[in-house]
Amino acid sequence: MTSEQQFVDLLAFFKALSDENRLKIVGLLAEKPYTVEHLAETIGLSISTTSHHLAKLSSAGLVEARVEGHFYFYSLQLENLKKMSRQMLQDEEIVKLSKNVEEDVFERKVLKAFLDKEGRITSLPAQEKKFIVLLHYVLDSFESGIRYTEKQVNEILLRFNADTASLRRGLIEYHLMERESGGAAYWRTDAGAE
Residues comprising the chain, all counted:
194
Backbone angles phi, psi at 156, to 5 degrees: -70, -45
| DSSP output for 46-90 | -HHHHHHHHHHHHHTTSEEEEEETTEEEEEE-HHHHHHHHHHHTS
Say if pTM beats, i.e. exceeds, 0.85: no
Of 154 and 193, which is predicted with more confidence?
A: 154
- The answer, yes or no, to whether residue 162 has pLDDT greater than 60, is yes
Question: In angstroms, how far apart are the furthest CA atoms of the chain?
Answer: 68
pLDDT in tens, 64-79: 999 988 888 999 998 8
CA–CA dist 14, 56 (Å, integer): 11
pLDDT in tens, 105-147: 888 899 999 999 888 999 999 999 999 999 999 998 898 889 9
Give pLDDT, residue 194: 46
**Domains of the chain, earliest start first:** 3-96 (1.10.10.10), 101-193 (1.10.10)
